Amino acid sequence: MNNDELTLVLSNDKILTRVEEIAKDLDVKYAGEVPVVIGIMRGCLYFLADLTQQIDLNIEIDMMSLSSYGTGSTSSGTVRILKDIEIDITNRHVVVVEDIIDTGTTLDYLREYFDTKKAKTVTTISIFAKEGTNKFANGADVVGFYLPDKFLVGYGLDYANKYRHLKDVYELKLADK
């Protein structure tokens, strides 16, 4: 097919164990509430599915689609909404479910966006973050794993729409680089 090189970084079973922990923490944090869980498509696909199935609370699920990377592997630095949420989040507890934090631009943008929509609280959860991201003030409230600052694919993460469906997470080295 091609000669892109994939090196295993994190296995699916380790991810699932951590996802279970995150779900349990949410059950405690939002006991008696009905938060709106908002997945950021398409990278959140598997994380959103695995996480919400482990949550015992009543929740509502919505999705939003953003674009910041185009089809390349470096951030363009600007965030665009391709599809907005449909649930009215005014005065609701919002839990943002994201795939990975690199520069923090996306989550920074979303926090402000949900603030202007008058959410009661906004908690951001990213299953992955690049090592070093915690030095940014705009990291997530919850991070599943800090991973090497490489281009990663799998468990929802794509490169130009490819490799998203891989169960585990891999570092991608492009054949032509």
Tell me if 100 sits within 8 A of 155, measured CB to CB.
no
Helices (H), 30-172: 45-54, 105-116
| Residue 8 CB-density burial (10 A; 0-12 exposed, 13-18 middle, 19+ buried) | exposed
Tell me if 130 sits within 8 A of 148, measured CB to CB.
yes
- Judge whether 62 counts as a catalytic residue: no
Q: Which of 102, 139, 154, 170 binds ligand IMP (CB under 6 A)?
A: 102
**Contact region for Mg ion (CB under 5 A) — 17-25, 41-49, 56-64, 86-94?**
41-49
Least separation in angstroms between CB 58 and ligand IMP: 27
Q: Which of 35, 39, 43, 104 binds Mg ion (CB under 5 A)?
A: 43
Pick 43 or 139: Cβ nearer Mg ion: 43
Pick 120 or 162: Cβ nearer ligand IMP: 162
Q: Which residues are catalytic?
A: 102
